[in-house]
Structure 1
Amino acid sequence: MTYACSGSESGEKPEDKKPFTGADKEVKLMTVDPGHFHAGLVQKYGYDQVDSVAYVYAPEGSDGLERHLDRIEQYNSRQENPTNWVEKVYTGPDFFEKMIQEQPGNVVVLAGNNAQKTSYIKQSVDAGLNVLADKPMVIKPEDFPMLREALAQAQEDGILLYDIMTERFEITTLLQRRLSMNADVFGSIVEGTPENPAITKESVHHFFKYVSGQPLTRPGWFFDVDQQGEAIVDVSTHLVDLILWETFPGQGIDTTDVQVVQADRWATEMTPTEFQKVTRMESYPDYLKEDLDDENNLNVFANGSFVFQVNGVHGKVSVEWNYQAPEGTGDTHYSIMRGSKANLVIRQGEEQNYVPTLYVEPLDGNGGEAYEETLKKAIDDIARDYSGVSLTTAPGGWQVVIPEKHRVGHEAHFAQVTRQYLQYLADGEIPGWERKNMLTKYYLTMQAYAKSR
């Protein structure tokens, strides 16, 4: 990989910027303080529409910057489908102000420490820059008005502000949504109750893991909820997004249509040895010392759950973080959509060899031959878009058999989101329902954060 310090030459001024057309190399990336590995995953693959020269602005001495550049170099030097990124780097205490001043690119990529992210989003939009941001866009309720203003300003000025919702591209979730839109198979969504919601999304994650084949080193601030955010405002963003996206496809949900019913939070304990292994830091930084117990273990409020209503329909999200998955396992996901004719369930436990697996479980009176024929027709229709998808019997109903070629993995989903964003840039707009639901999901996570206390 080639990289150099960026000069002081100014880019185009906001008023000089031309609309996107989808032409080759018209998108130029500017990555700000890439403290999270998701910043690198946006560049794991190349895109015709994106210039291979990418600009990075980061504070001096940033460990995240070094890991980011190493990751890009890994993508550039791999044997299969190598990329050809050229990283032009500016480091200094004024890194963000320098990016705003120079503007050598036209899309800001934000994936790092979340403490300033909402402010970075607002200032980027004010400067006329498009933004592709990793979740979460906001971690504290007091910053939510700033995000609301940024989204409104972006819409008014024709700026594309978008967050990276990778989980929409996971194949079992895609097919769960697709089947839920078939009234003959699913019926209609039930309203549910707080104790038995209509749709539930639960995920379990792990601090120590491998990314692109290498052990992931996390920065110390990742474990500070004032910089990373609690689970209830972080990973929960994905799950709230999926509930809105699946339950009300193509519909914009207003903040007045939702209400948080109950919320809870709890901590994960890490030993000093575990902290050192995942961060490569010899000791806890000062900002974490208030979270230490009497035995010098770190308590991270990385877990949370909440129930909310959307137009009377109850949804539940739950996120847990453990230190490391047992050998042969990994992050897991569970989801159920409860319909009037059948439940659509995603399981990812030992029985499924920790591979997300979708089941169709009809309610009493809906499991006969006629229903099976209807379900097979629905699967045949899906197979036109996802070749090889089929059906097999399972306890309580059927399992949707998904060929391995459709399981592209979490890292590849970043390229899928980026391509979606590039299409929105070429179209000149983000669909109205997307913009409305972006605001509403963060409204929900902020309400849950407050209620959990």
Structure 2
Amino acid sequence: MKPATMKQNIIFATITTALLSCGTSHQKQSAMHLIALDPGHFHASLVQQQMYPGIDSTIRVFTPEGPEVKQYLASIERFNQQTDPPVHWATDVYTGHDYLEKMLQQPPGNIVVIAGNNRLKATYIRRSVHAGQHVLADKPMAIDAASFDSLQAAFQEAADKKVQLYDIMTERYEIRNTLQRELALLPDVFGTLEPGSQQDPSVVKNSVHHFKKLVAGKTMVRPAWYVDETQQGEGIVDVTTHLVDLVQWTCFPEQTIHYRTDIHVDSARRWATPMTLQQYSDITGQNSFPEYLHKNISKDSILQVYANGAFDYTIKGIHANISVTWNYQAPEGTGDTHYSLLRGSLASLIIRQGAEQQYKPVLYIESTHCHDSTYTKMVESRIAALTHKYPGLSLKKNDKGWEVVIPETLAKKHEALFGKVMQQFLEYIRNNNMPAWEVPNMLAKYYTTTQALTLAQQTASRQ
């Protein structure tokens, strides 16, 4: 039987004629297409919240049939209703069983966006790069040691074929993280980064998340495989990707990190979040556990979801602690939290997002020198200088130092940051100017998380 093909033309509009280079000077220039490959996670649609010069307005979608692609197309249709900025994507959708092979037959030089089942991601990345496509992948690009090896090979082939391979690190564009990095670059405010110890790390990044969330008053539906660590990946290799990336990007700006010599994972552990069948049903819409989850169901019929992990590691001599926790549901009035500490010789830069902050992230400068008038004037002058780049910044004094007051105009929501990543990626494609440190540092990041998983599993097996 001929594979089913369906087309959805949402809104047709004239597209820009701006041309982008596909990574080499000798390739014929033309408007590129976005290709959505098996968009199983809602992040797949978030790069389409705006239009991009040089990108054709028709998105080519190659995917198996199922609820995930329906949600993806619904998101695109919803974006097409917005006016600020105006969006007019059309979609050309192929849902045959040979969707991957059909995608690989597309002309080279387009951009494949991959966000979905992480078990398949290593294969999707390798084959897309081999076909001469640029790849923008949601995190994580590797969920275990085997997929890390595959990622290494993919980066090598991308270099050989002169195409770009990049992951979506939105948290670099979150304003508190950005300012934490800016302040860490000021030696008269921050000093130098302390080395710390395993017992008292100088860099700490912790995050707490929740499976059940309300969006517009309705429970967000997650794919059934989302709670299977063999498909989604354990928590220790998933959300921690952002945290490890921020450690590298903040503490060692524009420095190359060599994973073989600069990183050592000192300790790691993993643990499960218990989930009843009713709870599972509430977030997935499924009325029974699929067979692939039976391995994680305890004798009392409780699903054990390995979404939590923590590890201590040393990076270029600096001790860091990373942890991620997934609870089922946040208590009423609370939400996800993020904590980030950088301890310098003059001050600590801390992001808190707890009850005191009404569960909104707040950046602090804390120092024993905060009562010294000379140091105070220095901090105030440095913040004043930053207002030229970040208008509206100010300081609020407290007993330990200062809260950095950030205007709402600078505080973009998480979903809005995906466009920032896409714009950066397009610049790398257009100018072939990805910084030399980006690829080795992506490898260092995924080496760190996958090594932490291996150590955590080994530790658990010995207990």
CA deviations 1:199-258 (Å, max 9, x no partner) are 111011111224577642100100000000001111111000000000000111011211
Query: 1-side partners of 2:322 and 2:156: how far apart?
Result: 27
**Partner residue, 2:56:** 51
Look up the equivalent residue of 2:232 and give its one-letter code: Q
Match of 2:145 in 1: 141
Q: Which residue of 140, 148, 164 corresponds with 2:168?
A: 164
Aligned-partner SS, 2:236: coil
What residue is the counterpart of 1:208 in the other structure? Answer: 212
Q: Is the 8 A contact 1:24 1:50 kept in 2?
A: no
Distance in 2 separating the partners of 1:33 and 1:367:
56
1:106 matches 2:114: no
Match of 1:368 in 2: 372
Q: Which amino acid aligns with 2:435?
A: P
- Out of 373, 389, 394, the residue aligned to residue 390 of structure 1 is 394
What is the identity, as a one-letter code, of the residue corresponding to 1:259? H
After superposition, the Cα gap between the structure-2 partners of 1:286 and 1:133, relative to the gap in structure 1 and judged at 3 Å, is same
Match of 2:221 among 205, 217, 232: 217
In the TM superposition, residue 26 of structure 1 has moved relative to its aligned partner by 2.3
1:198, distance to aligned residue in structure 2 (A) = 1.2
Give the secondary-structure state (helix, strand or coil) at the position aligned to 2:235. Answer: coil
Amino acid at match of 1:122: R
- Secondary structure of the residue that 1:48 maps to in structure 2? coil
Residue 104 of structure 1, CA deviation? 7.9
> For residues 419-440 of structure 1, what are the alpha-carbon distances to aligned partners after superposition, in whole Å with 9 as ceiling and x for unaligned?
1111111111311111110010
CA distance in 1, matches of 2:25, 2:118: 29
Structure 1 residue 77, shift from structure 2 partner:
1.9
Equivalent in the alignment of 1:402: 406
- What's the secondary structure of 1:306's corresponding residue? strand
Of residues 232, 253, 260, the one that matches 1:228 is 232
Q: What is residue 258 of structure 1 aligned with on the other side?
A: 263
**Structure 2 match to 1:120:** 124
Q: Do residues 320 (structure 1) and 319 (structure 2) align? A: no
Equivalent pair of 2:22/2:429 in contact (CA under 8 Å): no
> Structure 2 vs 1, CA of residues 410 and 17 (structure 1 numbering), >3 Å: closer, same or farther?
closer
Q: How does 1:8-87 map to 2 (within 5 A)?
A: 19=24, 26-60=31-65, 62-78=66-82, 80-87=84-91
Shift in Å, 1:94: 1.0
Give yes or no for contact 1:341–1:366 (8 Å, CA) kept in 2: no
* Distance in 2 separating the partners of 1:303 and 1:269: 11
Q: Give the deviation of 1:368 after TM superposition.
A: 0.5
* CA distance, structure 1, for counterparts of residue 251 and residue 387 of structure 2: 22
Paired amino acid for 1:346: I
Distance in 1, matches of 2:114 and 2:140, equals 10
Q: Which amino acid counterpart does residue 370 of structure 1 have in structure 2? A: T
Structure 2 regions of 5+ residues with no counterpart?
1-6, 11-20, 458-463
**Preserved CA contact (<8 Å) 2:24 2:162:** no
C-alpha separation in 1, matches of 2:374 and 2:386 = 19
Q: Percent identity?
A: 46
Please list the CA deviations of residues 4-61 of structure 1 after superposition, one character each: whole Å capped at 9, or x if unmatched.
69xxxxxxxxxx967489x99823100111000000111122222322100110013x
Q: Deviations over 1:165-190 (max 9, x none)?
A: 01111111110100000000000000
Deviation at 1:294, TM superposition (A): 2.5
Mapped partners of 2:234, 2:314: distance in 1: 21
Aligned to 2:445: 441
* Counterpart mapping for 1:271-290 below 5 A: 271-290=276-295
Show structure 1 runs of 5+ residues with no match: 6-15
Deviations 1:140-173 (CA, angstroms, capped at 9, x unpaired)? 2122211101112212322100000011111111
- Which of 93, 96, 104 does residue 100 from structure 2 map onto? 96
The match for 2:419 is: 415
* 1:320-370 Cα distance to aligned partner (Å, 9 max, x none): 1111222333221000000000000000001011110000001x3464011
Determine the C-alpha separation between the residues in 2 that align with 1:270 and 1:248: 39
- Of 346, 358, 361, the match for 2:363: 358
Partner of residue 16, structure 2:
none
SS in 1 for 2:338: strand
Where 2:426 maps in the other structure, the secondary structure is helix
SS at match of 1:184: coil
User: Could you tell me whether the CA contact under 8 Å between 2:236 and 2:270 is conserved in 1?
Assistant: yes
* 1:298-313 → structure 2 map (5 Å cutoff): 298-313=303-318
- Output the CA distance in 2 between the equivalents of 1:246 and 1:351: 25
Aligned to 2:17: none
SS, match of residue 232 in structure 1: helix
Deviations 1:390-422 (CA, angstroms, capped at 9, x unpaired): 001123111000011111111001111111111
- AA at the equivalent of 1:29: L
Does the Cα contact within 8 Å between 2:203 and 2:342 map onto a contact in 1?
Answer: yes
SS in 1 for 2:118: coil
Q: 1:249 pairs with 229, 246, 253, which one?
A: 253
CA RMSD across the alignment? 2.1
Q: Hey, what does 2:301 align to over in structure 1?
A: 296
Question: Contact 2:22/2:430 (CA < 8 Å) preserved in 1?
Answer: no
Give the Cα separation in 2 of the matches to 1:394 and 1:26: 53
- Tell me by how many angstroms 1:195 deviates: 1.3
Q: 1:218 and 1:190, CA in 2 relative to 1: closer, same or farther beyond 3 A?
A: same
Is the Cα–Cα contact under 8 Å of residues 262 and 315 in structure 2 kept in the other structure?
A: yes
1:94–1:105 Cα change, 3 Å? farther
